[in-house]
Amino acid sequence: MSLFSQPTTPGGPTLAEVGEFGLIDMITAGLPERSDVLIGPGDDGAVLTIDGPVVCSVDLLIEGVHFKTQWSPAESVGRKAIAVNVADIEAMGGTATGAVVGFAAPPDTPQAWVLDFARGLRAECDTTGVALLGGDITRSDEIAISVTVFGTLEGRAAVTRSGARPGDVVALCGRSGWAAAGWAVLGRGFRSPRAAVTAYQVPEVPYGQGKVAALAGATSMIDISDGLLADLGHIAERSGVSIDVHRDAFEVPDPLHAVAAATGSDPYILILTGGEDHGLAATFADGDVPQGWTVIGTVDEPADGPAVTVDGAAWDDSTGWDHYH
């Protein structure tokens, strides 16, 4: 039985007692062999085979910024670390194939926490079909995680943020507002609705839908990480267009109604500005929207420069998350 098929228990040795190389051996033991990975963990670099152009993305997860250990189990943090990166590959219309992970933590971090984290990494890699290729481990004052994911476009052109055209429609695949609802709940010291909390801990990325959108002729696409309006703003700016989002295109699920009622807020603020769900938003020629995607707006000629509006009116509140504001 693999170490990663067994639950860990609290207590036990710390990273200072296990040591860097002992920890690496534990994390990499028993990784499955793959035909596209010629050299895996254990050397100065991994070697993999990818046909055609390579698409890659990197994300940082910092304790206290992207997760809190009292809010998210270690396994959830590991899963999230892979998911948020694969979402970026999906947003380019690609298929993720391999990942390398940088991990830093204080010496007194329990070994059990790190092994649970690694279990989450491997579980999400298995879900997405991504090979865990290796990485690096070092010490730091807080837990910090850097994941770089590589993928293939399989001969297709990348779908960028700059191709939206007036007359296109805007469509969404995946959830919006759920992670923000979970964050709001946890910030008040509660653990329900459980579905919202789980959405904050591990995003439900619509795996495979980036390729579906690309094959359907998506003219632009983006991963919703900082808030729907904020991220659509990137498409509007890069494409030189205006985007109008239609509020009545969204059904408000019960957990979001419950959180909004408990916090005295508007559930549409969660949906339109909440980040961390990592759904995909794309623009398509009208009639090209694939099954599984919901039309939520339109692309228009810019009136006074690129902009995002809601039901034809400017949005006066925050549009999403900015790490420095």
What integer pLDDT is reported at residue 53 of this predicted model? 84
Confidence of residue 283 (pLDDT cuts 50, 70, 90): very high
If one looks up domain 3-152 in CATH, what number appears? 3.30.1330.10
Higher-scoring residue by pLDDT: 306, 94: 94
**CA separation for the pair 227, 229 (Å, rounded):** 6
244 in a labelled binding site: no
What integer pLDDT is reported at residue 305 of this predicted model? 76
Q: Which CATH architecture has domain 169-314?
A: Alpha-Beta Complex (3.90)
Q: Is the pLDDT of residue 27 over 80?
A: no
66 in a labelled binding site: yes
What integer pLDDT is reported at residue 312 of this predicted model? 94
Q: Is the pLDDT of residue 24 over 70?
A: no
43 in a labelled binding site: no
225 in a labelled binding site: yes
Q: In sequence order, what are the residues at sequence separation of 6 or more whose Cβ sits closer than 8 angstroms to the Cβ of residue 238?
A: 160, 161, 162, 220
Give the start-to-end residue ranges of the domains of the chain.
3-152, 169-314
35 in a labelled binding site: no
DSSP-assigned states of every residue in 187-251: HTT---SHHHHHHHHS----TTHHHHHHHTT-SEEEE-SS-HHHHHHHHHHHHT-EEEE-GGG--
What integer pLDDT is reported at residue 18 of this predicted model? 64
Q: Is the pLDDT of residue 20 over 60?
A: no
What integer pLDDT is reported at residue 322 of this predicted model? 40
Residue 324 C-alpha from the chain's centroid: 20
238 in a labelled binding site: no
Residue 109 has, within 13 A of its CA and on its CB side, a CA count of 26
Higher-scoring residue by pLDDT: 36, 253: 253
Are 145 and 101 contacting, i.e. CB atoms less than 8 angstroms apart?
yes
Taking each continuous run of H as one helix and of E as one strand, the counts in the chain are 10, 13
188 in a labelled binding site: no
DSSP state letter for 13:
-
What pTM did the predictor assign?
Answer: 0.85
Length of the chain: 325
220 in a labelled binding site: no
88 in a labelled binding site: yes
What integer pLDDT is reported at residue 247 of this predicted model? 96
Please state the rounded mean pLDDT for residues 246-260. Answer: 96
44 in a labelled binding site: yes
How does pLDDT run across 124-156, given as a tens digit for each residue?
A: 999 999 999 988 889 999 999 999 999 999 989
Q: Is the pLDDT of residue 217 over 50?
A: yes
**CA separation for the pair 235, 173 (Å, rounded):** 16
How does pLDDT run across 35-68, given as a tens digit for each residue?
A: 777 666 666 566 767 777 888 998 999 999 889 9
Q: Is the pLDDT of residue 163 over 50?
A: yes
141 in a labelled binding site: no
DSSP-assigned states of every residue in 302-317: -SSSSEEEETTEE--S
